[in-house]
Amino acid sequence: MDMTTDYRELDRRFYMPVFSRDTMIVRGRGARVWDDTGKEYIDCVAGIAVCSTGHCHPEVVQAICDQAHDLIHCSNLYYIPHQGELAARLAGITGLSRVFLTNSGAEATEGALKLARVVTGRKKFVAFEHGFHGRTMGALAVTHKPAIREPFMPLEPTCTFLRYGDLEGLRKNVTRETAAVVVEPIQGEAGVIVPPEGFLEGVRERCDDTGALMVVDEVQSGMGRTGKWLAIQHEKVTPDVVLLAKGLASGFPIGALVTAEEYQFRKSEHGSTFGGGPLACAAALATIRVIEQLLPGVPGKGERFRNGLSRYQPRVKGLMIGISVGERCPQIQKSCAEAGVLINCAAEGNLRLVPPLVISYAEIDRAVEALHASLG
């Protein structure tokens, strides 16, 4: 950082104004970050559930640096160091068989939509109200929020949106013409919404009955966030396709499409220049090693938040936490930031906390205290 450059002014003049922001974060370690004035924050945003190993975890930094010295990029025309190793790890973690690596969550969704069409020969999709699967054209077509999809209509493929939890709707709308049902096991962008008991089993059953693929979007809920590798592993359900991204490589861009053995792209049906490059694979493998150590501690940390915040009736799944606060959400976000705690507002007046899995009990207590002061 060069202290004489006005980065904010350059941003305002040259960057597209799609984000609303004022704080500039310049450094991070563990569950803490610092802004350009030197102010310290406990980070319960963690790059939106991305920096699960904490900021700049030494094992991840080491893996990226080591790989950068050997090879940064070479193309998927060749075998890529660590790509097969990462695929094997992801198969093990998910209980599935085949992997395709992308650069983002949206691209993982795109891959799933293409795959569902090519393996079923069907055209239609079913997804859920308040669901979020990414902002590229295909991913947007299965993303519900009217404000972000309607300006870009018409969107292909055609998708029917059902109420999250609507088993009756599944029976009517998932048919032998449905290529796939795309579902989050916990809706993250909607504000950490947990489905009713039996709903995900219901999706599985209806997919089995009709031959539609069950695509489970674990981009936000996966990679240890809820105390298991996948949120769907809290249920007795095995999906056909799992989507991963956010927490997969500690902030190095990557996404993954993981499938059962019978659902694979054949030669030339899909591809990517950057997807699964050497640096991304090295970062992801180091991340998985670190998360493996952190996983047993996640439920206890979630309970610490639950107990501390009990009077606000939080929805807690490991370290994925939502609190309904209504219109006050932006104000609470602001006053927590002033008190040195970063949290953010997901949809519909829901505060969302998705801190790094390395957060300590003392840091949790400080975050809880700031929330109490702001929530009243």
Ligand X SMILES: *Cc1c(COP(=O)(O)O)cnc(C)c1O
Which of 134, 165, 202, 227 touches ligand X by CB under 6 A?
134
- Closest approach of ligand X to the CB of residue 13, in Å: 25
189 binds ligand X (CB under 6 A): yes
- Closest approach of ligand X to the CB of residue 19, in Å: 13
Q: What is the DSSP letter of 349?
A: T
Q: Which stretch binds ligand X (CB under 6 A): 165-173, 215-223, 324-332, 362-370?
A: 215-223
- Closest approach of ligand X to the CB of residue 231, in Å: 10
113 binds ligand X (CB under 6 A): no
- Tokens 């094997």 correspond to what residue? 88
CA distance 2 to 365: 35
Residues binding ligand X: number (CB under 6 A): 15
**Residue 289: φ, ψ to 5°:** -60, -40
CA distance 223 to 246: 8
CA distance 376 to 368: 12
Examine the residue annotation and report whether 161 is marked as an active-site residue of this protein: no
Which of 111, 157, 188, 191 touches ligand X by CB under 6 A?
188
Examine the residue annotation and report whether 209 is marked as an active-site residue of this protein: no
b/e code 15-34 from CB counts within 10 Å (16+ = b): eeeeeeeeeebeebebbbbb
Q: For 130, left (φ over 0), alpha (ψ -120 to 50), or beta?
A: left
Residues sharing a CB contact under 8 Å with residue 9, sequence separation 6 or more, in sequence order: none
Examine the residue annotation and report whether 132 is marked as an active-site residue of this protein: yes
110 binds ligand X (CB under 6 A): no
Residue nearest to ligand X (CB): 105
133 binds ligand X (CB under 6 A): yes
Q: Which stretch binds ligand X (CB under 6 A): 5-13, 74-82, 102-110, 192-200?
A: 102-110
Q: Which stretch binds ligand X (CB under 6 A): 35-43, 118-126, 213-221, 321-329?
A: 213-221
Q: Tell me the catalytic residues.
A: 132, 217, 246
